[in-house]
Structure 1
Amino acid sequence: MGLFDKIFRRSRPAGPLDDYWYFPFGAQQATSAGVRVSEETAIKYLTIYACVSLIAGDVARLPLNLYRKRRDGGKDTVTDQVIYDLLHNAPNDEINSFNWREAGIGQNLLWGNHYSLVRRNDRNRVVEIWPLDNPGNVEVYRNGAGELRYRWDAGGRTVDRGRDEIFHVPGFGFNGLKGMSQISVAREAVGLGLGVEQFGARYFGEGTHPTGVVQFPQGVKLGEKAGQYHAALKEQWAGLGKAHSLMVLSNGEEFKPLTIPLEDAQFLETRNFQKIEICGMYHVPPHKIAIHGANSNYNNLEQENQHYIDACLIHWVRRWECCINQQLLTRAERLAGFFFEFNLAGLLRGDSQARADFYTKLWQVGAITQDEIRGKENMNPLPAGEGDKTYVPLNFIPADQAAQIAKEPAPQPGEEGRSVERRDGKSARETRSILVRDRIAKQYHPLIRSAAEAVVNREAKAVKAQVTKMTAGRAFRSMDEWLGEFYRDFPEYIRQKMGPVLRSFCEAIRDAAGDEVGIDPDRAEVRKLIDDFVARYAERHIESSEGQLRALLAGAIADLEQRVDEWRETRPEKIARNETTRASNAVYQAVVFAAGLGTVWRVRGAETCPYCKELNGKRIVRGQSYVENGQEITPEGKDAMPINGTKAHPPLHRGCDCYLTAG
């Protein structure tokens, strides 16, 4: 308060806890280094500028959202309030939220305080916020009634406002009402840093010591002309731009250099020490402003980045949150559960692999949905609410469906092994077996379909783009060549998209089959089977896609566009249906064979096609197949159907829904 006592002629003397006790406002008191320091001069010191702009920018870039607490302990984002628009987007018509917050935090880091003028409507709601550009010119005091007031000079006019008209964010201080100027507290350190910078600049401009002497022949005396001679030498050869130039002496003089390395004066060490000391004042790891020490390595930098968040940014974030909630929300709004909070997710983001691992762990325990993950990655939700489900480790099925499974009655003692024949010829054990697998397939069906959609959309988009190039005459190769190149690289994308969900589905079938036949299957063996299945699916997909498109090359090129549009409409569903049947039976059969049993082909009822009915009830063991490649199936009264490829398990054809049982 010593600054404002002088300005307003108050009688109380300044003390060491008052802001600007070290020097009065408007003056720049010289430090021991001989440099005058104020907030305005301090920001010209590059290390301070780097620290201030870094912290201010990092905090300002965080999304500032308005929330409302829920009774269950959660919170909902609120976007339809005026105060949200002011703080999230623009506090007034001239300044956006980022610039306002960046300037405010910068003032905190230099002057220790930020002040903004607040305009309210007749309902006491904030409608505009205008920052004050000189926080060092603001006096915080109490009037005769004990009310907190703010007073400052505005162009020779004294302005005095009450508490509800000012938004004030104080930095560290001892009374909680006004922050101490960090530049004032660190005045000597800042002054030394500025002094060293000026010393370095002058060294290269003029020199900090005699760089040499000129010796004249004996008997030559300059007398009064010595000054003129020195000035001429300095004009001709002094300064950084004239360093290392050739000196010509015409009167028998001899130049003798004096070598005093700059490092001997510990110049570089002093510069580095002062930079690190300023970083320490702001709790900024030196590497954040491009000061790298000899011991810096990747692991250290990771730890220092986390330290930067924990020790530097968090307390500024929380300080602003507290002031915003206290001063810009009404008491009624706070009691109603409204509060502002910075979203720190952007600061805590690691690399893509670290984020993927983090999301996977949350998703696997049902703590987060696919849509929530997509939202954090700035992606839109999945259509039709497909991404709005949580999953649990029960083979990664929707949590609500896991609860339904848990409620289903368990088989009665002794029931599992009974072979009670039903009218359709199936035992109760067989019925339970396929019901479990059908339930798993139903749960995974939308996930497999979604992955198939991504694959089909990717190739459809690529094909249509190439057709457009061909039509416009901009293609550098034929469609036949392009198809070969595109589908040569496409299997990797298919494995990337379809692989994870197919593996998870197959593992669920493996576990269910193992429980049914009473064994714990060799996981390595089954894993190899699953990997082979995924690879083979990619091959089947490519064979089908490329084969269909090449068959159309003889016609109009627009036919290719029409075909891929048809794919988008129907193919993902077909893929999901066929591949769940194929994968379920392949894995189930592998587990049953591992138990030393055989498998029996089963159809689902009267609607089954006559060709599948020919195989109903047929049993095979390991090493056998149901139908050999090239063999024909000829039901009574039907044409023969030649079989393309050996069939060791369903499906026999596209759309086939037959299944296997142990026997």
Structure 2
Amino acid sequence: MGLFNLFGGGRDAAMAEATRDAGEDRWFEGGGARSEIDVAVSIERARKVPVIRDCLHTLSENVAGLQFGCFQRLDERRRRRLDQHPAMRLLSNPNRRQTSYEFLACMVDDLASHGDFMARMIFDAAGNVVELRRINPDPAVTHVDEVEGVKRFTTRDARGQDHRYLEEEVWHIPLPPLKDGLRGTSPILDDGREAVAVAIALQRYANILFKNDGTPPYAITMDGNFKGADDKKNFLKAWRRWTSGKNRHTPAVLEYGMKPTRMGLTAEEAQFLETRKELWLDLTRLWRVPPHKVGIMDKATFSNIEHQALEFVTDTLRPVLELIERSVAKFLIEEDDVFFEFNVESLLRGDIKTRFEAYALGRQWGWLSVNDVLRMENLNGIGAAGDRYVEPLNMVPVGTGPGGRERDERAAIDRSIAFLRETTARNGGRPRLELVKHAA
């Protein structure tokens, strides 16, 4: 019997209905990829597993909250921020309905769940991209194929109408490795299908168990037999009435040599504690999310949580950020010397004591100024004086002998005295306190 006939009408449908087994969950599940344990796995169903939902939210919300910008390379050491660049304006306000936060959150969520992000590019009369509108990457809604080396996107809207777009009209970011060279790999439907299926099966089993009051099933054995099927049904109805609802945990009377035999889990087994812990850890590995980010604190300490938070940025977020950054540079930026970048400084900052000690080292050894430190703390600078860099007076080039060191020290003192005299003269003969300190 073919798939069309199985779900079609007429006699074949009636035969299919007659052969369905109420004990098989697959007849009552929605669509999705089948797993080895015959559980349908879909993105929508996977989101109902708390650990998966938390992993997706952790990734999307952390990326969406980052600052970003377009920069122009002036030389190997300098760059200039371009707030008015078209790509910057586009990502800051992608369309009429979404903010940059919402748009980026959807982008990362699509990559982490479906393995693809797609957005339709809306052009103005001059051929410039003025809007980005997300396309649902679900394979059941959007089909991607390739004809003569050109990708085509066919998507179906809510009214059932198909729309076809060419490669130049869609911004597509696939998550490596690619399937058939076109679509990305879904952590849920591809790599993690079996682990997600086990999580769904475990959650479903727990729901059924506790829906039935968490009471293990019993088999009733007896020496004789019921006279007919109706007598058996009547007894089972009476048994449920005696042992459920307000009659829970009350004594029941059995006759005719009936004996109940327990067929179920112990209270400890019914909690699925060890199974859930190991399964949750397996699910976090799909996205390399540290366990403490999703509330698994069994082996967490103050020291290793801080290191895991840093690893979350360098090992988990960095690949996703670079994937987005390079895609923006390739498809939304025309200039070769302009690039797009996220700022992860806020996520890398440690505790205040460690952070201030790092600032002190940078200030002492000359690669940070007062204004540099204030900018890192999102504070206003103190003016031109805050851009001054300092270094220890005993710092000399490697290999300089004692005589050279004395000359360098004397030259530094002479420069400071000359600077003090010059600025004092400009200030009407009154030396300023900070200038005296600088000369010293």
* Shorter-chain TM-score tier: 0.7 to 0.9
User: Residue 410 and residue 100 in structure 1: after superposition, are their counterparts in 2 closer, same or farther (change >3 A)?
Assistant: closer
User: Residue 380 and residue 198 in structure 1: after superposition, are their counterparts in 2 closer, same or farther (change >3 A)?
Assistant: same
Shift of 1:238: 3.6
Deviations 1:512-544 (A, max 9, x none): 7xxxxxxxxxxxxxxxxxxxxxxxxxxxxxxxx
Contact 1:119 1:127 in 2 (8 A): yes
Shift of 1:246: 4.4
Determine helix, strand or coil for the equivalent of 1:228: helix
User: Residue 85 and residue 212 in structure 1: after superposition, are their counterparts in 2 closer, same or farther (change >3 A)?
Assistant: same
Is it true that 1:270 corresponds to 2:239 in the alignment?
no
Determine helix, strand or coil for the equivalent of 1:94: coil
Determine helix, strand or coil for the equivalent of 1:326: helix
User: Residue 120 and residue 444 in structure 1: after superposition, are their counterparts in 2 closer, same or farther (change >3 A)?
Assistant: farther
* More displaced stretch, 176-185 vs 263-272: 263-272
C-alpha separation between the residues in 1 aligned to 2:348 and 2:101?
A: 19
Determine helix, strand or coil for the equivalent of 1:179: coil
Contact 1:56 1:103 in 2 (8 A): yes
Is it true that 1:315 corresponds to 2:319 in the alignment?
yes
Percent identity for Structure 1 against Structure 2: 23
C-alpha separation between the residues in 2 aligned to 1:39 and 1:354?
A: 41
Bigger relative CO (Cα 8 Å, ≥ 6 apart): 2
Is it true that 1:124 corresponds to 2:127 in the alignment?
yes
Q: What's the counterpart of residue 640 of structure 1? A: none
Shift of 1:77: 1.1
C-alpha separation between the residues in 1 aligned to 2:265 and 2:362?
A: 63
Is it true that 1:140 corresponds to 2:144 in the alignment?
yes
Q: What's the counterpart of residue 455 of structure 1? A: none
Q: What's the counterpart of residue 340 of structure 1? A: 340
- 1:541-556 matched pairs, under 5 angstroms: none
Contact 1:28 1:37 in 2 (8 A): yes
Shift of 1:348: 0.7
User: Residue 168 and residue 444 in structure 1: after superposition, are their counterparts in 2 closer, same or farther (change >3 A)?
Assistant: farther
In structure 1, what residue type is equivalent to 2:48? K
Is it true that 1:388 corresponds to 2:365 in the alignment?
no
Q: What's the counterpart of residue 7 of structure 2? A: none
- 1:150-299 matched pairs, under 5 angstroms: 150-154=153-157, 155-174=159-178, 177-185=182-190, 186-206=192-212, 210-211=216-217, 224-235=230-241, 237-238=243-244, 245-249=248-252, 258=262, 260-264=265-269, 267-293=272-298, 295-299=299-303
In structure 2, what residue type is equivalent to 1:302? E
In structure 1, what residue type is equivalent to 2:135? L
Shift of 1:231: 2.4
Determine helix, strand or coil for the equivalent of 1:321: helix
Q: What's the counterpart of residue 102 of structure 1? A: 105
User: Residue 274 and residue 447 in structure 1: after superposition, are their counterparts in 2 closer, same or farther (change >3 A)?
Assistant: farther
C-alpha separation between the residues in 1 aligned to 2:49 and 2:412?
A: 75
What are structure 2's unaligned runs of at least 5 residues? Answer: 1-29, 396-406, 425-430
C-alpha separation between the residues in 2 aligned to 1:158 and 1:340?
A: 34
> What is the root-mean-square deviation of aligned Cα atoms in Å?
3.8
Determine helix, strand or coil for the equivalent of 2:40: coil
Q: What's the counterpart of residue 4 of structure 2? A: none
C-alpha separation between the residues in 2 aligned to 1:227 and 1:444?
A: 101
| Aligned pair partner of 2:65 in 41, 61, 65 | 61
Q: What's the counterpart of residue 21 of structure 2? A: none
Contact 2:154 2:164 in 1 (8 A): yes
- 1:626-645 matched pairs, under 5 angstroms: none
In structure 2, what residue type is equivalent to 1:283? R
C-alpha separation between the residues in 1 aligned to 2:85 and 2:51?
A: 40
| Aligned pair partner of 2:117 in 114, 117, 125 | 114
Determine helix, strand or coil for the equivalent of 1:387: helix
Is it true that 1:300 corresponds to 2:304 in the alignment?
yes
Shift of 1:444: 8.3
User: Residue 236 and residue 362 in structure 1: after superposition, are their counterparts in 2 closer, same or farther (change >3 A)?
Assistant: farther
Shift of 1:297: 1.9
Deviations 1:398-451 (A, max 9, x none): xxxxxxx9697599xxxxxxxxxxxxxxxxxxxx9x969978x98982399xxx
In structure 1, what residue type is equivalent to 2:332? L
| Aligned pair partner of 1:37 in 38, 41, 50 | 41
Contact 1:206 1:238 in 2 (8 A): no
User: Residue 215 and residue 152 in structure 1: after superposition, are their counterparts in 2 closer, same or farther (change >3 A)?
Assistant: closer
- Between the two proteins, the alignment pairs up a number of residues equal to 385
| Aligned pair partner of 1:28 in 22, 29, 32 | 32
Shift of 1:226: 3.9
- 1:579-658 matched pairs, under 5 angstroms: none
* More displaced stretch, 282-291 vs 312-321: 282-291
C-alpha separation between the residues in 2 aligned to 1:123 and 1:291?
A: 52
Q: What's the counterpart of residue 366 of structure 1? A: 366
Deviations 1:195-236 (A, max 9, x none): 0011111111226774557799x9997964442333244345
Q: What's the counterpart of residue 78 of structure 1? A: 82
Give 1 or 2 for the bigger CA radius of gyration: 1
Contact 1:112 1:170 in 2 (8 A): yes
Q: What's the counterpart of residue 26 of structure 2? A: none
User: Residue 208 and residue 409 in structure 1: after superposition, are their counterparts in 2 closer, same or farther (change >3 A)?
Assistant: closer
Is it true that 1:446 corresponds to 2:434 in the alignment?
yes
User: Residue 222 and residue 373 in structure 1: after superposition, are their counterparts in 2 closer, same or farther (change >3 A)?
Assistant: farther
Deviations 1:552-571 (A, max 9, x none): xxxxxxxxxxxxxxxxxxxx
In structure 1, what residue type is equivalent to 2:83? T
Contact 2:221 2:261 in 1 (8 A): no
Deviations 1:477-514 (A, max 9, x none): xxxxxxxxxxxxxxxxxxxxxxxxxxxx6xx99xx7xx
In structure 1, what residue type is equivalent to 2:433? H
